[in-house]
A and B are shown apart, each in its own frame.
Chain A
């Protein structure tokens, strides 16, 4: 047996700047904490008083509901429009392109105002034969109430953004996979769902998680509809009533931070499962901990190439 080698025990390179920065940050942090505790205008007593106010808690519920609902609508629209855009039918391709162009090209705020005003534009809606007889007639304001308008506005906008994510995911899968499947006599739709989508998921799912986190905060814009039950509107309204806007902004911020933190933990596990770094890059050297055997196999086969320049989030 050979002698054990003498291991290298070298001193690391000294890094004095580390201590300089630590000192600077420490002083700034101490100043911030000091002001948070001593500045009476923060009114922490009011924060505590309203943190669990029933109106605020209900607002959190509505915010979560809007986030979830809008994401569901968005994902359905995104998959449909991405598949249409990649398909062979030029009419459907054009429809999808125009949808994405319009909803990415106008601000969410504008779209939300528009959905709120739909009942002014079309006071009644009807089901029937185009240009012919009508079978059912609705008053628009009954059907498209504030909740529906908010969900439609957020969902349609999100669908346009997610569509590009889905499309880039589907395009990331190697052409050889399409060829192999079609050489076996598989139809386009079968190939898409059985072969392409399972491999595209690792490109599609992590940014969709990011979009969910972003949607949570975008729901605060639904006051444009106007939808008045979600967290930002409720806390603002209370703050304006008692002339104490700052503590109520803090209440809202605390809730957003808590929910985002929970979502970010979920996002971390999603990315670990699909073997993606937080920066969205593929990395062969990344740890495969937390990845399923199947996802490791897809990663190792290198048949999907993520686009690191994919642009997301409005």
Chain B
């Protein structure tokens, strides 16, 4: 392990979907407490990279470490000293995922459970919390995302912005050390984007390590510690938001932001 201080350490990750080469050797480090925003055109591999970090996608080459621990894989030292890679068991992958919160573009709330039920589900079934304890913490989290009065509403009775805030509360209920956001505002009406971004800003201010795939350049400029511009399966440019967005060095980055801004 080269750099054990990084929260997420992605080294030379490749991903194929059949013939399609989606990630072509991605390197990326995210430090503890850092907010990294991935920007780039559709199909550049941002979401795929994010999904590789919590094992929703298996990648074909390279390594991803979270807190120094390999994602989805395990190094086994054999008697002759050589190191062999093993796939992790389902239970082990579930354990790794339980420490990583994920927020989806389409919210993916459980429609048969109320907002409160959605937030309580995983702490009860994975961490085996008692109903009372899970409910107390779920109510705290709904309060935190401004939805205390919607606890007993089903997802279908909530607006898109409210649903996404419940989804954030649901992910936070597992007390993750790291939060991944996969285009959290892309499925929302424009007028509802603000309330979700504001919850994410609060979360960033509280010191949460976050990786955000988004098209909201304003959010990246305001909140990101690191902006990562991806194109065609590669990280083209990464650095401080002022530099990458304001004064890009790479012509491809410059071209993208000239069109977007």
Contacts and interface: CB of A to CB of B under 8 A. Distances in A.
Instruction: Report if A and B associate in a common complex.
Output: yes
Interface in B212-251: none
B104 A176 contact: yes
B156 A301 contact: yes
Nearest to A295: B112
Given A179-B56, A297-B154, A303 B111 contact: yes
Nearest to A198: B112
Contact of B155 (A184, A188, A293, A297): A297
B154 A183 contact: no
Given A179-B56, A180-B104, A297-B155, A194 B111 contact: no
B117 to A, nearest CB: 10
Q: Which of A174, A176, A194, A301 has the most CB of B within 10 A?
A: A301
A250 interface: no
A297 B153 CA distance: 9
Interface residues of A, number: 28
Given A182-B97, A184-B126, A195-B110, A297 B121 contact: no
B54 A183 contact: yes
A188 B111 contact: no
A183 B56 contact: yes
Interface stretch (B70-78, B87-95, B252-260): B87-95
B171 A184 contact: yes
A180 B51 CA distance: 12
Nearest to A300: B156
A88 B87 CA distance: 15
A29 to B, nearest CB: 47
B154 A185 contact: no
A180 B163 CA distance: 14
Nearest to A293: B154
A98 to B, nearest CB: 25
B108 A179 contact: yes
B108 A184 contact: no
Contacts of B101: 183
Contacts of A300: 111, 154, 156
A185 B98 contact: yes
A185 B111 contact: no
Contact of A182 (B94, B111, B167): B94
Leading 5 A-B pairs by shortest Cβ distance: A185-B98, A301-B111, A297-B154, A300-B156, A180-B108
24 contacts: A177-B110, A179-B108, A180-B104, A180-B109, A180-B110, A182-B97, A183-B54, A183-B102, A183-B104, A183-B171, A184-B102, A184-B174, A185-B99, A186-B122, A186-B125, A187-B94, A190-B125, A190-B126, A195-B110, A297-B111, A297-B156, A299-B156, A300-B154, A301-B155
Interface of B: 54, 56, 90-91, 94-95, 97-102, 104, 106, 108-112, 121-122, 125-126, 154-157, 167, 170-171, 174
